[in-house]
Each structure stands twice: as structure tokens, then as C-alpha cells.
């Protein structure tokens, strides 16, 4: 009995023996395969994070005027992030306060661009009918007049829709400052090159939002892709009546306003 029993329980036959993988062998093979499998999966992921392809993006900004509280955080953050001089003449973004009075006069002020907030304003004569804040910045026009007039090609539009300035190539001729209908261009007092909002391009390429959008406490500013992606901006554009500033100039701005009053210029 014993000699016939033992082979039956220990190993059935030579063919079956060769198919069997014991635990040690299996773990060894797993150990060998792991780096290969992980390598295949990880390599494309790493590449996607490292390289930024501007042709895959088209950026825009949404501004909900009904949500702006005029705190000026965006102005301060922009000045910090982009090393804009802290005086009251140079701004990439600023906030305007509108007063529409009962006698149909419109008053607009922007003390220090809204950097320090807005002190209360005393009125004589007429009452205020409506009053609100409007954040403004470069509209990153698809048909940008400042790009059109630049004689040396120092102002340009990137594939992802940002209008940028080549600091080293700009000759400081100020044509762009004259051409911009939104007053968004300014000459840097130290470098003497024309400067502007870049949509914080150095942040975009790392997947971050512009500094003004990052610090906006009420979500009045939204940033994202204009085409084909699920972003808060896409929802904003779907559910709001959108306006742009000075649409009659056909500059095709990429900064879209919701709840914008007709008096805003």
C-alpha cells in the first residue's frame, strides 16, 4: 500500500509537474514582472506631467460682476506674483467701482486700482440708483490690436490663447499702449518695456490658475479651458448671459463677463 500511495499524493505525473508553479517560483516571477508592468504604466503619466503642449489648450476667464465684493485681493496678488510696481499707475488687473445715479450720471472710480479696497464715497445731489464693482484686466483678445500694431513682433498670441510680451525684444515704442482699447497695457518704469497681464502664464504651464483667480474669495473670477473640458468656467459660460467689453471693436476678448451692467465701458 505505502509505495503506491506516496507518489499519488506527492506528485501525480511528469506532465502535471511541469505545469505546476510553486509559490517561490511565482513570487520570483512577480518580482521580475513588477518593474516592467509599472514602467509601462508610469512612463506616459510622467511625460504628460512634464511636457506642456500649448496646442492642447485654449484659456479664458469668466468674471461674475454680481459676486465681486471689491476687496482688492486680486489686485494685490497680481502685483506680488508678477512684480508689478506698487504705485498707483501700473496695473495688470484693477477694480472699478461704478455708481449709476438717479440723474442718469455715471461715476466710475478706482482709488489705487482697488489695491487697498474702496473707501465709502459721499454723494451730493442725486441718489445712487445702482452701484457695483467691475474687475478688469487684459482681455487676451483673439484679434488683439496690440499684437497687430507691434512693429517688431514683441507682443504675440500663443497657441493657447494668451497674449504675451517678449521683454527682451520689445523696443518700448508704446504703440501697443495706444492701440489697446481696454487700457490694459503699461510701460514698465524701470525696464522701459511694455508690460501686461500674462494670465500668469508661468503658473498655467504647471496647471495652476492665475494668482488673481487663486485668491478671489467669492469666486467672482473663474479660469479654465474655453473648449471641450469640464471646468467651472464651462459651467459659468453655459448658465450665464455672457458679455464682453467693447464688443463693437471686434477684438474678440477671451474674458467673459456675467451680469455686466450696460453702463460699463
Partner 1 sequence: MVSQPALPMVRLPEFRSHKLPQQVPRLAVVFALAAVALIAARYFLIPDTFGETGHYRAAAVDSIVAHPKKFAGQQECALCHGPIMDERLAGNHRGLACEGCHGPSAGHVANPVEVKPVIPSERDHCPRCHAYNPSRPTGFAQIDPVAHNPLMPCVTCHNPHAPEPPMVPGSCSACHGQIANQKAVSHHASLECVTCHTAPEEHKTSPRAVRPGKPMERAFCGGCHAEDAESPRNVPRIGLRTHYPQYLCWQCHYPHYPEAS
Q: Interface with partner 1 by CB under 8 A: which residues?
A: 66-73, 77, 80-82, 97-99, 117-118, 120, 128, 131-133, 153-159, 164-169, 198, 201-203, 205-206, 208-209, 211, 214-219
| 111 CB-side CA count, 13 A | 8
Angstrom distance (rounded) from CA 162 to CA 156: 8
Q: Enumerate residues 6+ apart whose C-beta is below 8 A from 128.
A: 99, 100, 101, 102
Of residues 37 and 152, the one with the C-beta less far from partner 1: 152
Taking the complex as a whole, how short is the minimal distance between the CB of residue 226 and partner 1, in angstroms? 19
Q: How far is the CB of 219 from partner 1 (least distance, A)?
A: 5
User: 185-202 burial, b if ≥16 CB within 10 A, otherwise e?
Assistant: bbbbeeeebbbbbbbbbe
Tell me how far, at minimum, the Cβ of 116 lies from partner 1, in Å: 9
CB of 78 to partner 1, least distance (A): 10
CB of 72 to partner 1, least distance (A): 7
Least distance to partner 1 from the beta carbon of 214, Å? 5
Q: Which is nearer to partner 1, 180 or 212 (CB)?
A: 212
Residue number, 6 or 208, with CB nearest to partner 1: 208
d(CA 72, CA 56): 32
Name which of 104 and 127 has its Cβ closer to partner 1.
Answer: 127
Phi, psi of 133 (to 5 degrees): -105, 145
Q: Output the nine-digit C-alpha cell for 257.
A: 463677463
User: Hey, how many other C-beta atoms are within 10 angstroms of the C-beta on 240?
Assistant: 16
Written as one string, the DSSP assignment of 96-140 is EEEEEETTS-EEEE-GGGGTT--------SSPEEEEEEEEEE---
Closer to partner 1 by Cβ: residue 72 or 224: 72
Nearer to partner 1, 177 or 220 (CB): 220
Nearest to 106 by CA among 129, 124, 125: 129
Amino acid at each position: 500500500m505505502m509505495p503506491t500511495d506516496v507518489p499519488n499524493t506527492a506528485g501525480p505525473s511528469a506532465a502535471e509537474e511541469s505545469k505546476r508553479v510553486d509559490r517561490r517560483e511565482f513570487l520570483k516571477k512577480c518580482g521580475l514582472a513588477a518593474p516592467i508592468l509599472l514602467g509601462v504604466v508610469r512612463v506616459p503619466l510622467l511625460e504628460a506631467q512634464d511636457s506642456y503642449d500649448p496646442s492642447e489648450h485654449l484659456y479664458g476667464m469668466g468674471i461674475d460682476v454680481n459676486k465681486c465684493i471689491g476687496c482688492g485681493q486680486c489686485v494685490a496678488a497680481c502685483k506680488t506674483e508678477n512684480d508689478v510696481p506698487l504705485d498707483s499707475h501700473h496695473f495688470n488687473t484693477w477694480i472699478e467701482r461704478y455708481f449709476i445715479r438717479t440723474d442718469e450720471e455715471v461715476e466710475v472710480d478706482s482709488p489705487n486700482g482697488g489695491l487697498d479696497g474702496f473707501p465709502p464715497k459721499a454723494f451730493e445731489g442725486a441718489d445712487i440708483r445702482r452701484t457695483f464693482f467691475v474687475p478688469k484686466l487684459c482681455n487676451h483678445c483673439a484679434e488683439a490690436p496690440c499684437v497687430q500694431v507691434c512693429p517688431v513682433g514683441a507682443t504675440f498670441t500663443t497657441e493657447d490663447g494668451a497674449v504675451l510680451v517678449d521683454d527682451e525684444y520689445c523696443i518700448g515704442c508704446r504703440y501697443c499702449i495706444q492701440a489697446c482699447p481696454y487700457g490694459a497695457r503699461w510701460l514698465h518704469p524701470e525696464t522701459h518695456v511694455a508690460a501686461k497681464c500674462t494670465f500668469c502664464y508661468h503658473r498655467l504651464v504647471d496647471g495652476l490658475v492665475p494668482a488673481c483667480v487663486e485668491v478671489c474669495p467669492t469666486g467672482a473670477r473663474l479660469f479654465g479651458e474655453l473648449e471641450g473640458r469640464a471646468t467651472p468656467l464651462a459651467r459659468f459660460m453655459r448658465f450665464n448671459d455672457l458679455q464682453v467689453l467693447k464688443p463693437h471693436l471686434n477684438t474678440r476678448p477671451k474674458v467673459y463677463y456675467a451680469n455686466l451692467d450696460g453702463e460699463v465701458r
